[in-house]
Amino acid sequence: MGSSLITLHDKQFQPYLPANRLAEAIDQLALRLNADYADRNPLFVVVLTGAFMFASDLLKRITGNCEIVFIRVASYQGDASSGQVQEVLGLREDVQGRHLIIVEDIVDTGTTMHYLLPKLQAQGPASVEIATLFFKPASLRHELRLNYVALEIPNDFVVGYGLDYDGLGRNLPDVYVAV
């Protein structure tokens, strides 16, 4: 991870978390999931687009049987939550009686999960949990139970490792913070 600033659109970002620190946090999260879901065949519900890198690395570390599906929701405009969620691509699989693990890149306001959880719970799963790479407790506006958090971070705007600023920065292997 370099020490130089990067520019995306009109904002500058500085290095924040290197890829090896992310890998360590994901290793620890996967150990917990492997222990909790041994012999359960969970269905990982990945929220696109931001969670794609996290999901890929997390699922490589899951040792038991599991399945994966993708959904797409959007609640960001620029570098702030819009406060509203628009479902773009929904879940088509039958989830009744399944153990669901929602894989999210970042939980900040909680708006996306507040919207998504009742929709999933209405379909009769055995359980629904959230596995998030990042959690910003200072930003949370909706009560959520987060049992699987890789890293807690302050209320800063971050990009990289799947997270973007107006479409840019998702491809960065490290995470950067706005300056």
Q: Is the pLDDT of residue 78 over 60?
A: no
Confidence of residue 91 (pLDDT cuts 50, 70, 90): confident
pLDDT recorded at residue 92: 86
Q: List pLDDT tens digits, range 152-168.
A: 999 999 999 999 999 99
Confidence of residue 90 (pLDDT cuts 50, 70, 90): confident
Q: List pLDDT tens digits, range 118-153.
A: 989 999 999 999 999 999 999 999 999 999 999 999
Across 9-147, the runs of DSSP E, i.e. the strands, are: 11-17, 43-48, 67-77, 80-89, 99-107, 127-135
Q: Which two tokens stand for residue 162?
A: 């799947």
Q: Is the pLDDT of residue 80 over 70?
A: no
pLDDT recorded at residue 87: 63
108 is catalytic: yes
Question: Checking phi first, is residue 88 left (phi over 0); if not, alpha (psi -120 to 50) or beta?
Answer: alpha
Residue 170: which of 92, 76, 42 has the closest Cα? 76
Select which of 57, 108, 164, 174 is catalytic.
108
CA 24, 157, 173, 53 dihedral sign is positive
pTM of the model: 0.91
Domains, the chain, in order of start with CATH, read: 40-76+84-164 (3.40.50.2020)
Between CA 151 and CA 74 the distance in angstroms is 22
pLDDT recorded at residue 175: 98
At position 96, the amino acid (one-letter code) is: Q
Q: Is the pLDDT of residue 1 over 90?
A: no
pLDDT recorded at residue 162: 97
